[in-house]
Amino acid sequence: MIQPFTPEPIRYVAEDGTPVQPLPARYTPELLRELHRLMLQAREFDRKLITLLRQGRTTFYAQSSGMEATQVGLARSIRVGHDWVWPYYRDHTLGLAMGVPMFELISQCLGTNSDTCRGRQMPHHFAAQAQNFVSISSSIASQVPPAAGNAMAQKYLGVDEITVCTFGDGATSEGDWHAGLNMAGAAQAPALFVCENNQWAISTSIREQTASETIHIKAKAYGMPGYYVDGNDIVAVMEVMTAVAEGVRAGQGPALVECLTYRVGSHSNADADAEKHYRTREEVEEWLGRDPITRVEKLLEKLGHPVSAEERAELIARTHREVDEQVLRAEATGQPDWRIIFEDVYADVPDHLRQQEAFLRAEQGGGRA
């Protein structure tokens, strides 16, 4: 039984890899290695995408390095393609772990013809229908009331799906966040709200963000349980998320989980020199010491199933190769042509858009056949 409103984050594994409470039986070395692989892959995906950014092949990227346990743990706690997810813009690791093909993620970041969103959004704003991974919006917390509505629809339809809604700590200051949680609480809708508290909203610290001691205690105001989890401990994240998700699925009403984690990189390429301006190297170093990937490596070592240096290097090399291959494959599809401007505004193209389309056709000389 997982307890809500604990004063300290729930954790299973200490920074040095020592279990602080008995590991549930499902955490076999095989599972732990698989989780490790997913997290390392996401970390290297970040590294490669930053390179693409520096090469000018994409224009925006928001790293999730340091937050892998939160996102992978969440992904592994829900029924992918059955449950619905309203994510925020730092959730590519969540997407990858949910099985969104790397090719799709890269295509979206590059705005190529293979982008399922047809180059309509800035990079790093995915949507994946097969996984019920709903289109990401940049406006902060605007996904929260729709997630409440999505969950209300699930309740109305009588299906055993749940809705997962993620956000950063900054989002909890927005009116939409409070409106959405209040609505879900009042409707007793099957919604799982997940705060990926990485402690910085661009350059605003959590202490400047709110006078509230933690985020999860705000759940009390909306009549739902709030859980506090060490977001860098993948076992803790999976244990809490799985239990809470199943409670939500069983009709116990919505819940809020706060995963305490840290974004070790910058907010985006827009503030690549974060440490110069708004946080200290010491703080970053401290959190690097709590790194979710090395924590699992240390745990596996203690369990007698260490990840060898060769294995690790091979996994990294494989991820780099895969990213390189998918980038070339995506780039080979070219860019969507000008017609994408007018399609999908409405279900059908209305006359006034047809006229504007005709104008652009004349200017651009035909477009695709």
Tell me which residues touch another protein (CB under 8 A).
84, 86, 116-118, 120-121, 125, 127-129, 134-135, 137, 139, 142-154, 156-157, 163, 175-176, 179-180, 182-183, 186-187, 343-347, 350-352
Contact (CB, 8 A) for 267 and 275: no
Nearest CA-CA partner of 292 in 244, 259, 323, 256: 259
Q: In this structure, are strands 191-197 and 84-86 parallel, antiparallel, or unpaired?
A: unpaired
In the complex, what is the shortest distance from the CB of residue 270 to another protein, in angstroms, rounded to a whole number?
A: 20
In the complex, what is the shortest distance from the CB of residue 92 to another protein, in angstroms, rounded to a whole number?
A: 16
In the complex, what is the shortest distance from the CB of residue 187 to another protein, in angstroms, rounded to a whole number?
A: 8
In the complex, what is the shortest distance from the CB of residue 180 to another protein, in angstroms, rounded to a whole number?
A: 6
In the complex, what is the shortest distance from the CB of residue 129 to another protein, in angstroms, rounded to a whole number?
A: 4
Identity of the residue, 148 or 237, whose beta carbon is nearer to another protein in the bound complex: 148
In the complex, what is the shortest distance from the CB of residue 328 to another protein, in angstroms, rounded to a whole number?
A: 23
Name the strand (E) or helix (H) holding 152. helix 144-157
Nearest CA-CA partner of 171 in 142, 135, 128: 142
In the complex, what is the shortest distance from the CB of residue 146 to another protein, in angstroms, rounded to a whole number?
A: 4
- Terminal alpha carbon distance of the chain: 60
Contact (CB, 8 A) for 35 and 307: no
Identity of the residue, 310 or 351, whose beta carbon is nearer to another protein in the bound complex: 351
> What are the helix (H) ranges across 55-101?
68-75, 92-97
* Token duo for residue 153: 């629809």
> What are the helix (H) ranges across 3-138?
29-54, 68-75, 92-97, 102-110
In the complex, what is the shortest distance from the CB of residue 228 to another protein, in angstroms, rounded to a whole number?
A: 26
Contact (CB, 8 A) for 226 and 5: yes
* Angle in degrees, CA 192, 196, 197, rounded to 5: 130
Identity of the residue, 152 or 237, whose beta carbon is nearer to another protein in the bound complex: 152
Identity of the residue, 28 or 129, whose beta carbon is nearer to another protein in the bound complex: 129
Identity of the residue, 142 or 252, whose beta carbon is nearer to another protein in the bound complex: 142
Q: 250 exposed, middle or buried (CB, 10 Å; 0-12, 13-18, 19+)? A: exposed
Q: In this structure, are strands 191-197 and 255-260 parallel, antiparallel, or unpaired?
A: parallel
